[in-house]
Structure formats: C-alpha cells, structure tokens
Amino acid sequence: MITWKEKPRRFVEPPLVTHIECTGFSQAIAKERKAAKIESDAAAERFGPETMARPNGYLTFFKKDTGSASKEPRFTYDAVKDDSTYDPCTPRDTCHPLHTASARKACKVSLATRWQLRSSQAYGWLPPIDEPSFGYGRSAIFLDSSMDKSHLQIGGPWTAR
C-alpha cells in the first residue's frame, strides 16, 4: 500500500551551503533587517537606555525585591570570628548554606516570587472553590456500591441452609 507523505522540510528548502547562496540570502533580507533596526532604535529611544540594558530573563520579571542577598564580612577578623550556625547537611563548610547545590537538592530553599510561577505555589493561596466530598458524609451509597463485600458474608442466597 502506498501512502502519500509530505516531503521533509530539508528537501523543500535546502540549507544555504555555498558562499553565493549565503550572500544572496543576506541581500534578500537586507531591507527587512534595516527596517527592524530602525524600529528597535526607536523603541530604545522611547523607553530609555536603562530599560533596554536591564536583564530580561523570565524569572527576573517576578523576582522579589528583598535587598541584599547576604551579609558579607568586611574584614578577615570578622570572617574568623563569625558565629553563623553550621549546617551538617552541606558537604563543605560555607557561610551561605542555602546557596549550595545540596540545599537545592534537599528542597530547603523555596522559590519566593512576587507572583505564582509554578503550579505548586498555588496551593494554599486562595480558599477552595468548592468542598468536594465525593459522596462521603451524605450516605454510604458509594462505599456499598464500589467495594466487593462478598468475602465478608457468611451466608448468601447461593448457599443452602
């Protein structure tokens, strides 16, 4: 049986292999690149250079503004006389036990953000929409119909008395 399939995309539009093909492609999209540059320069001028230079990763939009991450000792004497607690779960002694890979593996560090990013953060934020009881609390119909109690009965209609 012969079935019709579309050609793979690599055979429809072959990649640019030679120098002539690459030059032709760059000349074909030169106008588009020029228009995009004009538009991006106008956006940079409209929003300001500080807006365009800030980090724009996905998680940085939701970062909580908590100030400095940790208090570093300024002098060596302060580092030697540091009285921070020792965490025996970390493989190496450090002044920042929550920033280690072992703390992340043990889930000691929670993700604190301004808004919910993960579905696990949604638990407990709002009251429940409804109180599902799945039939429990109203009657025992669910328990009677879903569980096989034949092994619990001594006699039945099938046995002779």
Number of domains in the chain: 2
Which tokens is 10 given?
A: 């690599």
- 72 vs 50: CA distance, rounded Å: 28
**161 pLDDT tier (thresholds 50, 70, 90):** low
Asked if the structure places residue 101 within a domain, the reply is yes
Which tokens is 25 given?
A: 């492609």
Least confident stretch, 43-47, 54-58, 103-107, 149-153: 149-153
Asked if the structure places residue 44 within a domain, the reply is yes
- 3 vs 13: CA distance, rounded Å: 22
Q: Give 105-115 pLDDT, tens digit per residue.
A: 887 877 778 87
Asked if the structure places residue 129 within a domain, the reply is no
Phi, psi of 113 (to 5 degrees): -130, 170
Q: Looking at residue 37, what is its pLDDT?
A: 95
- 45 vs 50: CA distance, rounded Å: 10
**83 pLDDT tier (thresholds 50, 70, 90):** confident
Asked if the structure places residue 145 within a domain, the reply is no
Query: Could you tell me the residue range of the domain that residue 94 belongs to?
Result: 86-124
- Is the confidence at residue 32, as pLDDT, over 90? yes
- Is the confidence at residue 137, as pLDDT, over 70? no
Helix-strand-coil split of the chain, %, nearest 5: 40, 0, 60
Residues in the chain: 161
- Is the confidence at residue 140, as pLDDT, over 70? no
Asked if the structure places residue 28 within a domain, the reply is yes
Q: Looking at residue 157, what is its pLDDT?
A: 62
| Contact status, residue 98 vs residue 109, Cβ threshold 8 Å | yes
How would you classify residue 135: left for phi > 0, otherwise alpha for psi between -120 and 50, otherwise beta? left
How far is the CA of 144 from the CAs of 44, 53, 141, 151, in angstroms?
69, 66, 5, 14
Asked if the structure places residue 154 within a domain, the reply is no
| Contact status, residue 22 vs residue 14, Cβ threshold 8 Å | no
Asked if the structure places residue 8 within a domain, the reply is no
Asked if the structure places residue 161 within a domain, the reply is no
